[in-house]
Structure 1
Amino acid sequence: MKKGFIALLALMMMLVAACSNGSNQPANSGGSGGGASNSGATQLTMWSMETRNKEIIEASIAEFNAQNPDIQIKAEFFEDEALKTKMKVAIAGNQVPDIITYWSGETFDTLVEQNMIGDITDFLNEDAAFRDDFLAGGLETFTYDERNYGIPVLFSGVSLWYNKQIFEEQGLTPPATYDELLQVVDQLNANNIIPIAVAGKERWPMLHWYSYLAERIGGTEPFEKAKNGETDFTEESFVKAAELLRTLAVDHKGFVNGFLGLDYAAAESLFTTGRAAMYLQGEWAMDGFLNDEISEQIGFVPFPTVEGGKGSVNVYHGGFGAGMAISSKTNQEAAYKAIRFLTDPAQRKAINEGANISPMKTPGLEEANMHPLAYEYDSSISTNLEGFFSYYDQALDAKRADQFLNSIGAILSEANSNIVEELAKVKK
């Protein structure tokens, strides 16, 4: 009887414990639907690759959590490749985190196509002032079938950086056209000054030069058609771009001698130590400029135009490379409230006052808080941006991206290489 009584008492205690649990959802541990914790708050797990801005973002999260006791964010930060690996596992298991900061492109498209990312169009439409403050193409980067699935967190743009002291001493003006660029290169070479630092060993810096020339000649349409398989990369604008690049880099010796064996650090050092006059790179290169005395000597201009070309000087190579999105399975209102707070210009102000470009037209930057070069660059982009075109090696599938990198390398390294034949190798 005693054993029976103990068993009955244990059963009753289990029933009471079950009845006392007021929630049917477990605490969220990433993509489980924004579950409630024991305190009743909605728990949101966030993954981000913005490790460089970790402290700033964590401060914003702490502020949000304090202001919203009913919604709590827990963030995890990963280096690029680590996050890509985690996302592959998450996609396979259909368990993406409640909030994610991720790159635009193929993987993001997959998330949308498989209904893993939440549609935030209606939320944005109710917040028109915020929605309409993005630079041209920002929200469109994360739009599919006229519905929006992400909020851009940064803009990336490649410009032609130049050494103002060298140009002044040589009586040169920063080139606005390709022909002017050749003239500048010739004069620099005549005075034994390295015209352009290029990391040819890395391959992609050479592709920046080629991509810009192709856009300045034919505009953005030829690439989009070739990418989609409607044409190929032997179309006239692509061939002409390769010819102009070879003329600049090889015939006029615009690129530093031995550029094909030069890595990124070595090429950057040539420019930051004042040995090379020009350097084509994105805003990320400012990390190597801002804390150095050389920063006072550095200026920038958009990539030059090509006579008779269709491309605009204010269309930049780059784009809105990363955005913040929410899982389709999570608490949509809570998650959107969180990313709206975290992407607000006021919360990302400290990030955008560094070596970054805000995706907003009115980012609220304070010149007094910024390095003069960073403020000038960010302001220039915000004021003049007309559009952008994607990095070729990111916009294409992995196979064609590698083929393109190889073909441009061959065109510049082999004087007798056939340009059309090399470009024809870029195919699915």
Structure 2
Amino acid sequence: MKISMHLAAFAVTAVSAAALLAGQGRAEEVVADPSAKVEYSGTVSVLTKFGLQQLSPYFVGVAAEYEKLHPGVKVELIQESDDSVKGKTKTLVASNSLPDVYFTWTGSWGANFVRGHRAADLSKVIGPDTEWGKTLVPAAVQAFQYNGKYYGIPLYLDVKFMGYNKAIFAKSGVAAPKSFEELLTACDTLRKGGVTPISLGNKEAWPAVHFAGQLLAYNVPRATLEADFEPKTAKYDDPGYVASLQQFKALIDRCTDGAAVNGTSYSSAFQQFSNAQSAMYYQEIIEFDQAATADSALKREDFGFFVLPVPEGAKGDPKAIEGAPEGYMISAASKNMPLAIDFMKFVTSKENGQVLSSPPYGQPSATVGGSSKEKMSPQVVEGLAALESASYLMPWLDTANSARVASAWLASLQALAGGTMTPEQVMDTVKEASAADAK
């Protein structure tokens, strides 16, 4: 009963959040005018997801440079972290005070703003055939398309890899695994040697979703996955779902601290890896340059990575990698939309893209030519090469699905990691949530 009540509360919270983001928006859609004159005066407000100490200087620097070019303009930054930006966004929406420019994920999260007419239609300024659109990676622009229109400005490309400490691997006599089964065996060897194989913090619930998403891409055909993302066509009857969750549970039990991961934050787990206190950490490419720095215990030359290995007999896509571009939208209520758009054109320039892609930020730019191999760390360059060879980008489960279904995945995977739900029970919960949304 406690589990059911917890899941129900989680679902209500997520659905309420979706209603909040979408509700009470403008009555009609606002379309950005490409011919509108830019008045270089006043303030442009920006909500970023660069609130962490390592990342915050990027937007501060870009804003200062823009203000220097246009002395009559003031850029007002609201800098939040990966987690706090969600709550901040909901608060701003509730008070109808979204800034001119605000961070968004793709998928259902971005769709909420579109549905509530809170995001300006940018098709005429950033569509693939526009001057600005042609300066950006086509797939990244496409990711922000809803109902045949374009609403988002992709800033960087993100994808998930397993980071590992080469020195710890060598000391334990372990090689980078070629299959999921080899990964589990490597974890057993590392643990026997007194090493935490994989540091995982799942207090926030989304880190577990990333493991599950990659395994689902391997075990469930793409067409089935994408049909199941939509509640009206979802069935969730492919056996690859349960197989993926069984593999995930095996990884929790053999490679991590088990149920204790639900009491550990993702930042603590990341720090454990950076401090060379664990052998592996499942991380995004945008975290590479923060994991191994000049001051960290994990030395840059000892940082390696590999794609989470494919399980034997998997029926999905073995070349799929989990990831998605992330970016920004322009508020439909912006009082100075031409200036907001001009600022974002500046942010996504080739020059600023190269700064973003290079240490200490390491966020692979979505701008064509915004990634300079000479300036970027070797690991990020290698990660981008792996990304380019991927056949499919598996979206994050908590942004690809509707709010209710995303909530079901988050809460039930946390319960699975904690040992209070089985793979079959997880899928029953997801099916129920999807069926409720289909009505």
TM bin (shorter chain): 0.7 to 0.9
The answer for the alignment partner of 2:9 in structure 1 is: none
CA RMSD across the alignment: 3.5
In the TM superposition, what is the alpha-carbon distance from 1:138 to its structure 2 partner? 0.9
Q: Deviations over 1:75-127 (max 9, x none)?
A: 2324323343113322xxxx654443434344532332344433332333587
Correspondence for 2:311: 306
SS of the residue aligned with 2:414? helix
Aligned equivalents of 1:412 and 1:306: distance in 2? 19
Deviations 1:391-424 (A, max 9, x none): 2223334443333233223434438x54323320
Could you tell me which of 295, 298, 303 is aligned with 1:294?
Answer: 298
Shift of 1:62: 4.3
1:238 correspondence with 2:237: no
Equivalence for 1:208: 210
1:365 and 2:372 are equivalent in the alignment:
yes
Name the structure 2 match of 1:178.
Answer: 180
Residues 161 and 280, structure 1, Cα contact 8 Å, conserved in 2? yes
- 2:149 counterpart residue number: 147
Aligned partner of residue 323 in structure 1, secondary structure:
strand
Structure-1 separation of matches of 2:107 and 2:128: 27
What's 2:4 paired with? none
- Aligned partner of 2:411: which letter? N
Quote the residue 1:76 is aligned against.
Answer: 77
Give the structure-2-normalised TM-score. 0.74
Measure, in 2, the Cα distance between the counterparts of 1:161 and 1:284. Answer: 12
CA 1:392 to 1:327, structure 2 compared with 1: closer, same or farther past 3 Å? same
User: Is the contact made by 1:317 and 1:388 (CA closer than 8 Å) also made in structure 2?
Assistant: yes
Please say if residues 132 and 345 of structure 2, whose CA atoms lie closer than 8 Å, have aligned partners that are also in contact: no
CA distance in 2, matches of 1:329, 1:106: 22
Deviation at 1:217, TM superposition (A): 0.9
- Do the aligned residues in 1 keep the contact of 2:222 with 2:317 (CA within 8 Å)? no
Deviation at 1:139, TM superposition (A): 0.8
Gaps of at least 5 residues in structure 2 are 1-29, 34-38, 434-439
Say if 1:330 and 1:215 are closer, same or farther in 2 by CA, change over 3 A: same
Say if 1:305 and 1:312, in contact at 8 Å, map to a contact too.
no
Stretches of 4+ aligned residues off by more than 6 angstroms: none
3-state SS of 1:156 partner: strand
**Superposed CA offset, 1:141-174 (max 9, x none):** 2112222122111222221111111222344331
Is contact 1:212-1:303 (8 Å) kept?
A: yes
Number of aligned residue pairs: 383
Distance 1:160 1:341, change over 3 A: same
Tell me, yes or no, if the aligned pair for 2:137 and 2:367 is still in contact at 8 Å.
yes
Task: Give the aligned partner of residue 352 of structure 2.
Answer: 347
Structure 1 segment 156-167 matched on structure 2, within 5 A = 156-167=158-169
The CA deviation at 1:388 is 1.8
Retained in 1: the 8 A contact 2:67–2:75?
no
What amino acid sits opposite 2:303 in the alignment? I
Query: Which residue identity is paired with 1:292?
Result: S
- Of residues 70, 89, 92, the one that matches 2:95 is 89
Distance of 2:114 and 2:399 partners within structure 1: 18
1:399/1:333 CA distance change after superposition, 3 Å: closer
Shift of the 222–125 alpha-carbon distance from structure 1 to 2, 3 Å rule, reads closer
Alignment of 1:185-334 (within 5 A): 185-229=187-231, 230-250=233-253, 253-256=254-257, 259-260=260-261, 262-264=263-265, 265-286=267-288, 287-290=290-293, 291-295=295-299, 296-312=301-317, 314-325=319-330, 327=332, 333-334=338-339
Q: 1:64 to 1:255 in 2, by over 3 A?
A: closer
State the TM-score, normalized to the length of structure 1: 0.75
Greater gyration radius? 1
- Which deviates the most, 259-268 or 324-333? 324-333
Q: How far apart, in 2, do the equivalents of 1:190 and 1:111 lie? A: 49
Q: Cα offset for 1:312?
A: 4.2
Partner residue, 1:423: 427
1:316 aligned counterpart, secondary structure: strand
Specify whether residues 289 and 325 from structure 1 end up closer, same or farther in structure 2 by C-alpha distance, changes over 3 A only: same
The structure-2 alpha-carbon separation of the partners of 1:312 and 1:135, relative to structure 1 and needing over 3 Å to count, comes to: farther
How far the C-alpha of 1:330 sits from its partner, in A, is 5.2
2-side partners of 1:244 and 1:126: how far apart?
A: 40
- 1:6 maps to none
Distance 1:186 1:293, change over 3 A: closer
Distance 1:293 1:373, change over 3 A: farther
